[in-house]
Amino acid sequence: MSNNQFKRGELYSVINGMASTAVARRLQKNFRQAGLEITIEQWSVLYHLWKEDCLSQQELCNRTFRDKPSITRLIDNLEKQKLVKRMPSKTDRRINLVCLTEAAKQLQNQTIDLANQTMNEALVGVNKEEIETVKQVFQRVYDNLT
């Protein structure tokens, strides 16, 4: 086993166990403290709908990197909380369009500010070039494996 390979193995452990879950936990905690009853996963779905409303479930799978059953159940829960509504597509009867309710639209500013604040806390001492490198590496890794 070469030294380089070992370092790469270490990276796996770093990527999967540490920073990403730390950020997610902190953001979830900030939501709770603000009295917001949504999970971080639900928020990540809403995040994409705020950018573009009424996406199909398949499109949400693509944008959130989740599989279809995961999205089905996240949408189930978001629908129970009356944050989204499934609407049949007029052009393709297989498709559900997932659309925001008024309540969800009102969540946007509040949660985006919390998310930005959390990322600012998380990224103290990290500069723009480093952030850019991380994004590029992750995009590259994703492309390599899919």
Partner DNA sequence: GACATATAGTTAGTTATGCAACTAATTTCA
Partner DNA sequence: TGAAATTAGTTGCATAACTAACTATATGTC
Residues that bind DNA (CB under 7 A): 21, 25, 28-29, 39, 41-42, 56-59, 61, 66-77, 86, 92-97
In a 3-state reduction of DSSP, which class is residue 99? strand
Binding at 134: pick from DNA, a copy of itself, none (beta carbon under 5-8 Å per type): a copy of itself
Question: In this structure, what token pair is assigned to residue 96?
Answer: 């559900």
* Calpha distance 38→49 (Å, rounded): 15
Helix 40-51, helix 68-80: angle, nearest 10: 90
By CB under 8 A, tell whether 88 contacts a copy of itself. no
Residue 34: which of a copy of itself, DNA, none does it interact with, CB under 5 to 8 A by kind?
none
Q: Of the ranges 20-28, 73-81, 84-92, 100-108, which one interacts with a copy of itself (CB under 8 A)? A: 20-28
**What strand order describes the sheet that includes 55-56?**
55-56, 96-100, 84-88
| DSSP E strands, 30-120 | 55-56, 84-88, 96-100
The answer to whether residues 146 and 138 touch, using CB atoms and an 8 Å cutoff, is no
Q: Which of 55, 57, 64, 90 binds a copy of itself (CB under 8 A)?
A: 64
Please work out the total of residues on this chain that contact a copy of itself, with binding judged by CB under 8 A: 60
The residue ranges that bind a copy of itself (CB under 8 A) are 1, 4-27, 40, 44, 47, 64-66, 112-113, 115-116, 118-126, 128, 130-131, 133-142, 144-146
